[in-house]
Structure 1
Amino acid sequence: MNSKEQISEKKCPSPSKGILSNIVNFFINKPKYDTFIKFDSSEERYQYNKRIIQRIGIDSNQYSVLNINKIGIDAPVNNIFNELILFDGNPRCWPNHIAKVDRINNDFKNIRILPFGWKRYPFKSMKSFFGIPLIPLFLLNAIRVKEVPDSFDFDNARYVLYECSGGYPIGFLAIYIRSSIPEMGETSKSQLVFGVGFNFFGRKEWQGKRKFVSAIWESVHNRVTANVLNRIKRLSEWRLENMLENQN
């Protein structure tokens, strides 16, 4: 995604121009489409975990927190996947002034997220924020990538599975894109899924003892993720519409 290109403001999200607009666009704004998948029972969570193991090979049951957000996009799977592997922190889709995307060697497989773009703490004596090392906010290292679906993949699936570390308490991030399945009531061309699993500060039992903090974290995380997915949807659909118009 090239953040410098000229894009019609009428049909795609406007870029954030600073920290304040990041807060408004990603933390305060209520997105048009709700993307959070809520588990109504432990059995439903177990079934989701089985699908995750089958498709990307990671057992999310080892994490106390499993957040899955999904959105339908009227664009082909390969178009969306190509957008995401070229992602460089486009301010139309990401709060890049608060959490700057830094692709190591310009590679989507190795990314670090820097709070406010800081590569080091603002004061020489600082080594953390209140005891939490937040630089980098987190490191994303791809441990599994499927750029081309297998011949037997009925849903044309592509994904990137990241192992995460750093100050932000995430264990894995899975970005998964597949064709929609009409039998599941999906009407868009494709489905984009962001899945996150982790234990707070490495302790699986921490969430049960700190439910209030966990609830706040999940609320903020899901609001930001929903806004990111809604903006990716709008931009992807805008790009496809313009590509088709240019072909005619």
Structure 2
Amino acid sequence: MDFSGFHHYAALPNLAFFANSGYPFTRLADLADTAVVIPDAPTARDKETLLTLLGHMGKWTGLPALRVTVTPVKAIDSVTDHNLLVIGTGSAAQWLAQWGKSLPLLIERGRTEIALRDQRSSAWPDWWNGLEEDAAAPAGRAILTAGGPIVALIGFESPYAKSRSVVAITAADPGRIGDVLDALEDPGKVSQVRGDLTIIRQQEIESLRIGERYYVGEFPWYARIWVKVSAYPALMAVAGILAGLVFALAAFLALSRIAARRAGG
């Protein structure tokens, strides 16, 4: 079963899609184009995380994940054409670390490094071509220090294939990776998951969008206009008034012609 129509077009990364529907992995209900990447020597906690995530996928699609691929990091080259769901502990954390500064968040050897995003935006964005008005490359990196364990959900475009996605779960303390699972079970916390980086620290959740966006699916010109206009309520109101006037004028002309025909008859 193909769920591609659910999100015919999507601007990614957007962890809200993952937290609420499992997208992009649940685009195919049997997870045929999904690979779950686990450490080469998975712990009981890693296995629990794997099964719980697949359970969530089944809840969202209504079907079991019959065609999902589960692969250790050492065999990741065999699934480079898949969407990747990464349980980022052990050797999987080392795999994430090799992408270094291309990630919005990097947890390595007890150090947490986060990208800083340039908040400046273009005054006249090229939104017709699909460029976001606030699309900006990270401005630098910063070392993040926190008094408690940090767990994170990270979304980014696959380094192996264009328009393929990676969602990774990583933690400063691998034993706390279950905090993500707890958050996915809590509707109040799920509503706070969005952007390309969600940091979970004890009972606090902070979501950010740091990296660049990429697009999956086809985006017709009229849909592009609607998405951009919908970001501005005042512009939507004006567009609604204009549409109403056009409809009223068309109806008036049609009724006038009918009246003229009757009068002439």
Give 1 or 2 for the bigger CA radius of gyration. Answer: 2
Bigger share in helix: 2
Q: Which has the higher contact order (CA 8 A, sep 6+)?
A: 1
> Normalization by structure 2: what TM-score?
0.24
| TM-score calculated relative to the size of structure 1 | 0.25
